[in-house]
Amino acid sequence: MLSTVCLGPYNRWLYGKDGILPARKMLRVSGKGFWEQLRDSPTLLWFGPHLGLDTEQGMELLCLLGILTSFGALVLEPLRDSLVFLLLWVFYLSMDRLYGKDGILPARKMLRVSGKGFWEQLRDSPTLLWFGPHLGLDTEQGMELLCLLGILTSFGALVLEPLRDSLVFLLLWVFYLSLYQVGQVFLYFQWDSLLLETGFLAVLVAPLHLLKWRSTAWRPHDNITFWLMRWLLFRLMFASGVVKLTSRCPTWWGLTALTYHYETQCIPTPAAWFAHQLPVWFQKFSVVATYVIEIAVPLLFFSPIRRLRLFAFYCQVLLQLLIIITGNYNFFNLLTIVLCFSLLDDEHLGLGRSKRRPTSAWPPGLLSVLSTLLELTVYGLLIYWSIQDFGLHFNWEKQLIESKTAFTYHDFIQWLKTVTLPLVGLGLLSLAWEILSAMYRCACVRGFPWKLWATLQWAVFAAAAAGMFAVSLVPFTYLEYESNGKLWPSIHQMFSAVDRYQLVNSYGLFRRMTGVGGRPEVVVEGSYDKEKWTEIEFMYKPGNISAGPPVVAPHQPRLDWQMWFAALGDHAHSPWFTSFVYRLLQGKKEVIHLVQVDETKYPFSSRPPAYVRAQLYKYWFTESTKDGGDRYVMALCSDQALSTASQRSGGGGIEPLVDKTPLKRPTDAFLPRTLQLIRELSHPYTGPAVVWSLYLTAATICILRVLSSRTLGSAPISRHKGSKRPDVAEGDGDHAGSEKNGQVRKKEAEEKVEGRARGAGDAPSDSLRSTKKKK
């Protein structure tokens, strides 16, 4: 750690491009392959260009990682939870650039004070930013404060087990909802809604132990709240598969969507180019597999057979991993994988106490035989229906699998009408089973006071789960409007009452395939004289055909994403674009940092351009990289409306969407000055560099702790084997390994090691209190 701290400040002076010994001359690209160069000169700096870093920046990043890792290895506990909410730091980096007074869409125009009272405004637009003026903060500073508080809270929950609490997740959900209310078009993505819905469900799933001195490792109602995660995963995946067919997109119906997808998605990865080169028959077969995984397999989420749920889990995770490899879809796929873990139990994860299943029992029981036969039947039906509905057959002459859609749009709509309400019934039966099972477990709790307390919790969470399920039926049945109209009016009224809080949402990803005739891309150019035009190159989106696709996930460059949407339609559909051009003409540093953090790569860093224009190009992936290594070819398209509008913006012909109200910002208050200082310190860093620094630091800390424990010769704590729960009688059956939801405490294991005996008739509170006294 000492050497890293000492080396860090001297990197730029010793090894920078203007230093004594520039380090980049040691990593000259030769004719050798990448892995051969890495073998000859083993350094992580070879990966720098793939992260958008030169040699000097790569050395700085490694030094910072070394400092954080060394410090974290000394003081932090093991990292065990998700890092999703830490992405608020990335959102914080782009806060003033998107929503500041000199940003593209100033957020304060979303919170205009009207004639309504304070609480009425808070009800109509639920955001904590209404309290900003009471703290001496404007809207921009309030958003910065919420982001920083969210970062600290999520990191605290990551490293401190007591903070993994229902109240903490409620606070994080309120923070993100407050930002969502003023985020406008840059926060209106489906994964933002998914994060809000998942965050609220985490409030119900997480334990509540901050308000009491004792916490339990297991609660009888845990399976009820955990089922809501499974229902959300089902709605997400099933809707994503169905909308591909209800949209009547010819590429999805013709099974050719993936022949366009890899080159036309928003920000492809380097692997997308290789996936695009796959043969057409394989791309069509991949579309068939996508339909099976998204439409048929989700029905197995509610299967009583454990192996079928495991099969569904691995199918979903495989699909998400393939999407991560070939596309930069920020945290969406990671969040979906987290939801997939609701299909597992502790026995499969190797957590907690579970009853061992006999491995050599013969002859097998009747229930086991029936379960195996039913499982084989399900697999057979999946294969049979896939072959029948998509005409799958192997062409021995051409050595490939041929496929085509063997049903019509009318057939599919009739099938959807037939299954929508029965699927609602299936979900209702599954939830009812979990509620009744939890009620039985409450009845098995020993001791009348604790049984009464468990029953009270069961009643509260069962009612909450039933309410969430009922409200979610409205967006779920948007898939088939006749079914939506058959829902009770009271359910629609409940949904309307909570809609503003984003508790439940409708989903449907990749509804239509864009860019069939070539990937449309807006190229922004600037000039001083209208004669010589210079391209303003973005950090992430395709522009320069010599630059390869980047890897930016789980970060989402929201401006680059909106530029992709702007290219798909007329400029009138993207009114924010006028404000963006206006800020470039003004030379606002905040907006320029959205385009390029490194000002040396921005062609107008010394003086703003006098004119800005935007032209529409079409991009295609190349068939090979022999000619100069380019990944794209491009052609200019005629889109005079977009080009002319941008030039008129430069001349002041179009009124920009900016807030001209004079800003009343206190300059001497402590809190605004602190926020400004943090803002200035964070300006030089890009989103991917910050996110990957956090992730790599967390992973390194875990590895160092494992290696340290092995070095010290510490043996792992033994698991309970076959021990009975002190608070629940036997007979829970298949739930034995899944009722703790992964919340098994170290206290129980330590109590086992220390040899503390528990009486069979002791109340559960006695054992827990004795554990605390011992510790």
Highest mean pLDDT among 216-230, 328-342, 623-637: 328-342
Question: What is the total residue count of the chain?
Answer: 775
Residue range 348-372: mean pLDDT, rounded: 66
Residue range 78-104: mean pLDDT, rounded: 60
Which residue reads 């604790």 in tokens?
450
E strand or H helix at 351: none
pLDDT on residue 90: 58
Calculate helix-pair angle for 190-205, 166-182, nearest 10 degrees.
Answer: 160
Banded pLDDT at 407 (limits 50, 70, 90): very high
pLDDT on residue 390: 94
E strand or H helix at 395: strand 393-395
Question: SS3 string of 676-735?
Answer: HHHHHHHCCCCHHHHHHHHHHHHHHHHHHHHHHHHHCCCCCCCCCCCCCCCCECCCCHHH
Cα angle, residue 182 at apex, residues 203 and 99 outer, rounded to 5°: 125
pLDDT on residue 73: 34
pLDDT on residue 290: 96
Which residue reads 């999407």 in tokens?
323
pLDDT on residue 34: 61
Q: Does pTM top 0.75 for this prediction?
A: yes
Cross-strand partners of 523: 615
Residue 370 has pLDDT above 50, yes or no: yes
* 160 or 183: which leads in pLDDT: 183
DSSP state of 635: E
Residue 252 has pLDDT above 80, yes or no: yes
User: Going by C-beta distance under 8 Å and a sequence separation of 6 or more, which residues neighbour residue 221?
Assistant: 438, 442, 454, 457, 458, 461, 462
d(CA 369, CA 1): 59
pLDDT tens digits for range 431-455: 999 999 999 998 888 888 888 988 9
pLDDT on residue 665: 52
pLDDT tens digits for range 639-660: 444 444 444 444 444 444 545 5
d(CA 582, CA 658): 9
pLDDT on residue 653: 42
pLDDT on residue 247: 93
pLDDT on residue 432: 95
Residue range 586-596: mean pLDDT, rounded: 88
Residue range 417-430: mean pLDDT, rounded: 95
Query: Of 157, 228, 220, whose CA–CA distance to 198 is shortest?
Result: 228
Question: SS3 string of 77-108?
Answer: CCCCCCCHHHHHHHHHHCHHHHHCCCCCCCHH
pLDDT on residue 629: 59
pLDDT on residue 163: 80
Residue 184 has pLDDT above 70, yes or no: yes
- Considering the chain, what percentage of its residues have pLDDT values greater than 70? 69
Token pair, residue 21, equals 């010994």
Highest mean pLDDT among 117-131, 364-378, 492-506, 707-721: 492-506
Token pair, residue 158, equals 């990551």
Residue 98 has pLDDT above 70, yes or no: yes
pLDDT on residue 374: 93
Please give the full DSSP string across 112-181, using - where no structure is assigned: ---SS-HHHHHHHS--GGGGGGGGT--HHHHHHHHHHHHHHHHHHHHH-GGG-SHHHHHHHHHHHHHHHH
* 751 or 692: which leads in pLDDT: 692
Cα angle, residue 623 at apex, residues 622 and 628 outer, rounded to 5°: 60
Rg (CA), the chain: 29
Residue range 91-108: mean pLDDT, rounded: 73
DSSP SS3 for 19: coil
Residue 66 has pLDDT above 70, yes or no: no
pLDDT tens digits for range 675-711: 778 877 777 777 777 777 766 766 676 677 667 777 7
Token pair, residue 336, equals 């979906």
d(CA 194, CA 328): 17
Banded pLDDT at 345 (limits 50, 70, 90): confident
Using the CB atoms, write b or e for 406-420: b if 16+ within 10 Å.
Answer: eeeeeebeeebeebb
pLDDT on residue 96: 67
DSSP state of 663: P
Residue 333 has pLDDT above 80, yes or no: yes
Phi, psi (deg, nearest 5) at residue 218: -150, 145
Query: End-to-end alpha-carbon separation of the chain, Å?
Result: 33
DSSP SS3 for 39: helix
Residue 151 has pLDDT above 60, yes or no: yes
pLDDT on residue 695: 66
d(CA 768, CA 49): 54
Query: Of 473, 465, 480, whose CA–CA distance to 495 is shortest?
Result: 473
Cross-strand partners of 621: 632
pLDDT on residue 199: 92
- Considering the chain, what percentage of its residues have pLDDT values greater than 90? 37
Domain locations along the chain: 420-501, 519-665
Residue 742 has pLDDT above 60, yes or no: no
Residue range 205-210: mean pLDDT, rounded: 80
d(CA 137, CA 127): 14
Distances (CA, A) of 54 to 28, 50, 110, 142, 560: 12, 10, 40, 35, 22
Residue range 395-403: mean pLDDT, rounded: 90
d(CA 735, CA 5): 51
pLDDT tens digits for range 535-562: 999 989 988 888 888 888 888 888 999 9
* 696 or 395: which leads in pLDDT: 395
pLDDT on residue 718: 44
| Residue type present at position 64 | L
Average pLDDT score, the chain? 77
| Residue type present at position 438 | A
DSSP SS3 for 749: helix
Question: SS3 string of 205-273?
Answer: HCCCCCCCCCCCCCCCCHHHHHHHHHHHHHHHHHHHHHHHHHCCCHHHHCCCCHHHHHHHCCCECHHHH
DSSP SS3 for 612: strand
